[in-house]
Structure 1
Amino acid sequence: MEMLRWEAEVVVVGTGPGGATVARELARAGRRVLLFERGGPERGRPLYGTHLGALRYTERGGLFFTPEGIQVVAPHMVGGATGMFAGCAAPPPDWLRTKYGIDLRLEVAETIEELRIAPLPPEHRGAASTRLAEAARALGYAIYPQPKFIRPERAPRFQCGAHCLLGCRCGAKWSAAEFVEEAVRAGALLFPYAFVERVLLEGGRAVGVAGRIRGQPFIARADRVVLAAGGLGTPRILQASGFRGIGEGLAMDLTVIVYGRSRADGNASDPPMTWSWEDPGLEVMFSTLMDPWLLYPLVAGMSGLRHVATWPRWRQMLGVMIKLRDTLSGRLHPDGSLSKPLTPTDRDRLQEAVGIARRILSEAGADPASIFVSPMRGTHPSATVRIGELVDTDLQTEVRGLYVCDASVFPEALGRPTVLTLIALGKRLARSMVEA
């Protein structure tokens, strides 16, 4: 079979927020950029934002579990995980600057202004979600309206609810695919359905990547390579390229949803995560969230068969999400499988957080006897190629010309929405590459 070949100044692997930002900034600066994405352009297609679509563009059809029973959510599409995220924005934690020397304040401010990141207007935060927020406030929790990458005025008809986690069909939610489109307009070449297998190394530096596009082999040579294939995709490429120490320990921002049945309407029709609050002592984030309609009975059944009976009352269910800033543990294996055991401390913190969510649900009018906890999910696989260990503060690996710009570089779990941090890292990296 014929080998496809390309050459450029920079190869970027992955179109999530980190890779899309790097590609856009470099293309705008006049650099010749090749952009490779394992998935396809899903936005605007008939199945995008549906349960059937999600089966196609998530790894293993969404049935990717660790041996410990944690479901791992890993979308493959142009725009990466932003195609299925809740549209939440949070600045990087202070410790990223004070402990690791990564100062992103300028890039964060620029992004907030450019994308007009802000909480949804009060009329769009959802009656049930606001009821949960009022219950949390009555119990003394410092709740706040969650800043969003969602602008209702962008949508001809704003229809945001639990289904938005499958993909935004109304157009209100920003996706990194928009940065990809801007990169292409600036001259970057996009190659979807491209599975990058390894980095090409010569004389102690990176000179390109090799892989397959729809089964056909290719080689793309470049002066510099940026891996941005995600917290699981990037370490797999590095492992296949002969790097050692990759994927030893990882974080996932472990997540559960605590559900309870209300006599009034629940928050299934509300935009996801419109209100949030943190417990700094527990290192836990809480938010208002529901699973989409067809996913809910599967989640409920995994929690106990009797909970499936609540499916007909899905619209009366209230959901409070718990996101745990987990301790580094486990391993990503070269065959693509991974393990992620919870530490005893993480289990204790999670149990305490579940107790808080139960009290909030009860205060908001949920029947205490109906409350149950969903199975655990890993929503932000990260910290597999950590800053300070496997990449430097400029995001360069031990190999010259090889950079990483995705959640794999987080030195610890963020414990909060990651997209704003990744965009800021992408801008910072692109500027340093342009100035070099």
Structure 2
Amino acid sequence: MTELNQNNQYDAIIIGSGTCGATIAKELAKQKKKVLILERGKTVLLKESLSGIVSIMNEISVGKKLKDMRALTTGGTTALYFGVAALPPFDTFSSLGIDLTQDYEEAKKELPINYLPDEIYGNQSLKLRDSALELGYSWEKQLMLVDLSKCKSGYSYESKWKAKSFVDDAIDDGATLVNRAEVTKIIFDKNKAIGVEYKFKVRAVGSTLYQAFGEKIILAAGIHASPMILRNSGIKNVAKNGFYFDPNMGIFGLIPGLKSTDNFVGTMQTHLEDDISLGDANVQKLFYKILTVAMFKPRHYFSFSDNIGIGVKVEEPMGGELMENGKYHKTLSQEVLSKLDRGTEAAIEILKNAGAKHIIKSPLSPTSVGGALNISEHVDKNLETEFKNLYVCDRSVLPDTYRKPPTLTLVCLAKYLARHLLAEN
């Protein structure tokens, strides 16, 4: 590996081009700031195909047989997410000295935030709702980041908002995007962050080490990267309180003649208890086939048009550790497993009431991983670390009391940080 110093000076260096990184870049570039975006993945034409998914998907272990999924590409994991748009926890952030109300009002003007009309849902989702309501469960629609004009005839991958659109806006306003750039550490001058060191990967040549310098350094690389970059840069108390995630599984059955179609996921849900929820898990045909192949369920693989699914999720408390090898690890408690069992029983009841047979369960998987960094401990109310001019803005800093889909909250938090950075200059 060779070394090469890049002496270009930027107003801001943003590590990561996902929801937060893209939003901050967009806001700063719009005000003519010189912005560098470093993205570990490559820019690809986003499409929901097997080859498209495989080319950007990256699995990260968070415990025994538990793997979280992220997308390494421009725009980050919004390339693969469901598009659910839960409202930000305004009171929670307000108690930490962060007011997101202005940023939410701005986000509403820029993002396609909608409830889906019934005609957009597949037959399986409507059947699931009818069954849940018949049994006395609430079954409420969730806000979605979906452009209704792009899905008039049903599900459309293109209709879901992607952070890549904000990256494109930033580039149009002069920002520089470098793909295949893996940041290894932050460069400091005493207690002040002044730049970053990163590996630039060229397939035929290997990696070359670069340095870039900036007035502000913003870590927005995600829960699986930002804490490790901080640790590698000398900040030792990262994840000292552990982390959180929500274990979940899908329960699927078959109803002959249902005529299921591709469908938005997570659009409706109910809460059995404060920390146990059930939701629509009627995934698109491609994901359904991938899942049933992994589970070795040939009957279900060939029966997508009869498929109906419901998800079970439990909020799991803080704990575990971020190990030296950069992997998160924790073991689920018996209490959490018992809650999953209670949720599963209710899900099976709803499916059977709908007429489903041949019911199967997917393996456990984690979602909503976060909490490795705490606001007021690892970062202040301006999201600045103990080192001046070094900020963190991604799922790492989301409070463990908020377990809903984070995309809309992250857009608002990124806008909040961008406002602070612009006000400082």
**Partners of 1:94 and 1:348 in 2: how far apart?**
31
- The aligned amino acid for 2:199 is R
Structure 2 residue corresponding to 1:277, chosen from 260, 270, 276: 270
**1:310 paired residue number:** 300
**1:379 paired residue number:** 367
**Partners of 2:271 and 2:90 in 1: how far apart?**
15
**Partners of 1:377 and 1:399 in 2: how far apart?**
35
Structure 1 residue corresponding to 2:96, chosen from 82, 97, 100: 100
Structure 2 residue corresponding to 1:216, chosen from 190, 208, 233: 208
TM-superposed CA distance for 1:72, in Å, is: 1.1
Structure 1 residue corresponding to 2:181, chosen from 181, 191, 194: 194
**Partners of 1:252 and 1:417 in 2: how far apart?**
12
Are 1:110 and 2:106 matched, yes or no? Answer: yes
Contact 2:186 2:230 survives alignment (8 Å) = yes
**Cα deviation digits, residues 301-333 of structure 1 (max 9, x gap):** 666x5x443221132121112232221122222
- Within a 5 Å distance, the mapping from 1:15-414 to structure 2 comes to 15-44=17-46, 48-59=47-58, 62=59, 64-93=60-89, 96-97=92-93, 99-154=95-150, 160=155, 168=157, 171-214=158-201, 215-248=207-240, 249-265=242-258, 267-279=260-272, 281-293=273-285, 295-296=287-288, 299-300=291-292, 307-367=297-357, 370-412=358-400, 414=402
TM-superposed CA distance for 1:334, in Å, is: 3.0
Contact 2:262 2:283 survives alignment (8 Å) = no
**Partners of 2:359 and 2:342 in 1: how far apart?**
15
**Partners of 1:136 and 1:94 in 2: how far apart?**
30
TM-superposed CA distance for 1:294, in Å, is: 5.5
Specify the SS of the correspondent of 1:18. helix
**2:204 paired residue number:** none
**Cα deviation digits, residues 137-174 of structure 1 (max 9, x gap):** 2222222222111113136x86627xxxxxx3xx2111
- Larger strand share, 1 or 2: 2
TM-superposed CA distance for 1:109, in Å, is: 2.9
- The aligned amino acid for 2:57 is T
Contact 2:120 2:153 survives alignment (8 Å) = no
State the percentage of identical aligned residues: 28
Q: How many pairs align?
A: 416
**Partners of 1:324 and 1:12 in 2: how far apart?**
33
TM-score normalised according to structure 2 size: 0.91
TM-score normalised according to structure 1 size: 0.89
Contact 1:231 1:381 survives alignment (8 Å) = yes
TM-superposed CA distance for 1:197, in Å, is: 0.7
Specify the SS of the correspondent of 1:49. coil
Specify the SS of the correspondent of 2:10. strand
**Partners of 2:108 and 2:418 in 1: how far apart?**
18
Cα RMSD, aligned residues only: 2.2
Gaps of 5+ in 1: 162-167
Contact 1:4 1:216 survives alignment (8 Å) = no
Range 107-116 or range 173-182, more displaced: 107-116
Range 311-320 or range 139-148, more displaced: 139-148
Contact 1:17 1:422 survives alignment (8 Å) = yes
Cα pair distance change 1:91/1:265, threshold 3 Å: same
**Partners of 2:342 and 2:95 in 1: how far apart?**
28
**1:425 paired residue number:** 413
